[in-house]
Amino acid sequence: MAATLLDQIQTESLQSSRGEGDWLGGQFLPDQIVQLQGPSGTGKSSFLYLLIIICVLPDSFEAHRIGGWNQAALLFDTDLSFDAARFKRMMECHIARLGLPSHVSAAVLEHGLSQLCVFRPASTAQLAATLIHLPTYIVTRLPNTALGMIAIDSLSAFHCQDRFTMEQRHTGKDTVHPTAYPIYNVLVALKHLKSTFHPLIVVTNWALESMQTTTANTPVLYRQHLYPLPTLLHSALDQRHTQTDMSVSPATVLELSSHITFAQANIAVEPGIQNAMQTICWIHRAVREPERFELRFTQEIPEIVHF
């Protein structure tokens, strides 16, 4: 069941909110599909919240440039980890960096919060069913607001129960058709929503196993555990992920625009920065070299450091 956030709550350093917004807006656009993959505690959800904030805030307000998209965002909180109070604090911190008058900041905050809707499906089947019926929800509940973003945090939330279900249903079978996998209908629904509404689609994913030993200057890759798997086609990442005995039909694959991997967090000790959690991230795209950036958690909202 959906609820608006307002119902739930009454090195080049891109330190300014406009700097972060401009960089994020140039990297992630409508009609793209982005996967965020990394171990727990590396900042995937925080980065996702930052993208949502950019989506829901207005572009301008009373002649003040805000730099947002002024569009609705739909978050599927499958991990049940969404903290509405923390999200509000992150948005307040982002707005505070803009240096707006207090009455403008309050109005912008209220507007941004009203643009987010949160869903909490309890299974992959519920997630798929909600996505399939989402066009009706959008038309009836958001008739005057453009859909800017669909987010799923996380796509792996029901992996264990889905795996158990598949093992019980298909014991002894040599092959299983991709359509039999619970996540299949989720991927099909996302592809349909992309072609119909053209939102930015962002999904987070677990990282159960690293594919190689990495350093700060080596792009990190993780093995995929979902099937049919979200894939960055025609890339080294795709070639490594698809080394499997199961044939993957293009019709069942969710083709990614970019795949961001998050390395294990560490503590940065630098002059003026105390106990700053730091995560190294790599943006992987088809036919392009990986691009590195860092997340530094010195405040409520992460600071993006772009290389």
Q: Which domains does the chain have, with CATH numbers?
A: 3-306 (3.40.50.300)
Residue at 178: amino acid letter: P
Q: What is the pLDDT of residues 23-78, one digit of tens each?
A: 777 789 999 999 999 998 889 999 999 999 999 999 999 999 999 999 999 999 99
Lookup: tokens for 70: 């002024």
Least confident of 51-65, 99-113, 138-152, 212-226: 212-226
CB 274 within 8 A of CB 53: no
Global pTM?
0.85
Please report the pLDDT score of residue 241 as a whole number: 47
Segment 124-143 mean pLDDT: 95
Q: What is the pLDDT of residues 214-257, one digit of tens each?
A: 555 677 777 777 777 777 755 445 544 444 434 455 445 678 99
Question: What is the spatial distance between Cα 108 and Cα 114, in angstroms, rounded to a whole number?
Answer: 10
- Please report the beta strands in 77-170, taking only residues with DSSP state E, as ranges in sequence order: 116-119, 147-152
CB 207 within 8 A of CB 38: yes
Least confident of 143-147, 171-175, 295-299: 171-175
Nearest-CA neighbor of 87 among 140, 38, 137, 51?
Answer: 51
**% pLDDT > 70, the chain:** 76
